[in-house]
Amino acid sequence: MDFLRSVPSFQPLSEETLSKLADVMEEVRRAVGNHHHLDLLTSPGHQVNVTQESSANQEPVHLRELARGDWFGERALQGEDIRTANVIAADTVTCLVIDRDSFKHLIGGLDDVASNRYEDTEAKAKYEAENAFFSSLKLNDFNIIDTLGVGGFGRVELVQLKSEEAKTFAMKILKKRHIVDTRQQEHIRSEKHIMTEAHSDFVVRLYRTFKDSKYLYMLMEACLGGELWTILRDRGSFEDSTTRFYTACVVEAFAYLHAKGIIYRDLKPENLILDSRGYAKVVDFGFAKKIGFCKKTWTFCGTPEYVAPEIILNKGHDVSADYWSLGILMFELLTGSPPFSGPDPMKTYNVILRGIDMIEFPKKITKNACNLIKKLCRDNPSERLGNLKNGVKDIQKHKWFEGFNWEGLRKGTLTPPITPYVSSPTDTSNFDSFPEDTDEPPPDDVTGWDFDF
């Protein structure tokens, strides 16, 4: 990534695009004296000479030397131009190579970088305007309409803007007392920062936060289609095409987060929420963590049935743990229950460690779905689909997704399998009913409670 950032032509590219470029680059060893024309972007290991033919029968003219960390050939990625120089290795060198087809496929060509920059500027302006709107709001600008969910942390309420009643939001209300008692300050802070920066149609937006003496508040996008878990519970299981749509929504969310160096670590039907169109979005970033690229983390977390073997064995884990959980989600959506479960977490972990091949797949799971689940749930993270050389593309190109309209999904033109009935911006009928909160926490009067949020 650092190397790609050093190439001037690539500087306008986003982190996400650079990360995709890094994924498709291949390491190639070049032998001594191997003429290689200027058509590859490379990272030479040792000395490389650049020469130019002055005329047909004369000796080539020495132009310069390249060393580790230099590059050549980025111009050739632009078009079918004739090479103007020779690049000759003085000894065996290792190059990182990207071919024109891969480059075109990923970012279309360097001419498109300028238009990408224009789109980025447009998006930036949109988010800045949004920011200005939300930063002017105060807590008492909202009315509470109804409760959308309850957890150990607190509650999620549907709130309405008093000045504009058609504008409703989900307000997550967290008890400071509980956060401090369970030492969750870091997790909460991480959740805030990750969600604030996540601008994806497949991740629930966090617009801003507030706090008072007892609570922290997170003002989020309201998705009134309800939890995927509720629909799964009521229907028992989903058919192949329905599961494919929701799985694809998660694949898009993961591709976006992973390109930002973020692991999610809490995939389950309860954390997928439908917007009023019926598109699924990932919510609840309490376990998410920015680890960067090619790095591991060792925190033990997740829902027992969804935890990857390397987390249980404390071997360190990375984004590949998310792809394991994607396989588990597919199985649960297709059958109504996850493949690994036990009467208590320890027993569940033991079943997980025995592996996916010990699980009997019900007949209703198609051959292609079964194949994808098994490829996502490989014990060895380095063999897992989504974590191989082509990254998430391997999942998108799997036979189970054959004919699936990824472009339509990204653009929001694909018809969802289930369209929730949402009568108005204040309709909470797709959520279960919850009793009122009577447990009043004490005010913020203990040192360390008023943490930065």
Q: Which of 266, 275, 318, 322 is catalytic?
A: 266
SS (H, E, C) the chain: CHHHHCCHHHCCCCHHHHHHHHHHCEEEEECCCCEEECCCCCCCCCCEEEEECCCCCCCCEEEEEECCCCCCCCHHHCCCCCCCCEEEECCCEEEEECCHHHHHHHHCCHHHHHHHHHHHHHHHHHHHHHHHHHHCCCHHHEEEEEEEEEECCEEEEEEEECCEEEEEEEEEEEEHHHHHHCCCHHHHHHHHHHHHHCCCCCECCEEEEEECCCEEEEEEECCCCEEHHHHHHHHCCCCHHHHHHHHHHHHHHHHHHHHCCEECCCCCHHHEEECCCCCEEECCCCCCEECCCCCCECCCCCCHHHCCHHHHCCCCECCHHHHHHHHHHHHHHHHCCCCCCCCCHHHHHHHHHHCHHHCCCCCCCCHHHHHHHHHHCCCCHHHCCCCCCCCCHHHHCCHHHCCCCHHHHHHCCCCCCCCCCCCCCCCCCCCCCCCCCCCCCCCCCCCCCCCCC
Instruction: Please answer whether residues 305 and 348 qualify as being in contact, where contact means their C-beta atoms are separated by less than 8 angstroms.
Output: yes
Specify the pairing of strand 26-30 against strand 93-97: antiparallel
Contact 114, 69 (CB under 8 A): no
Answer whether 206's CB lies under 8 Å from 288's CB. no
266 is annotated as an active-site residue? yes
Q: Which two tokens stand for residue 55?
A: 């005329």
Place of tokens 């799964």: 232
The answer on whether 172 is annotated among ligand-binding residues is: yes
- Catalytic site positions: 266
Task: Provide the annotated binding site for ATP.
Answer: 172
Task: Provide the annotated binding site.
Answer: 172
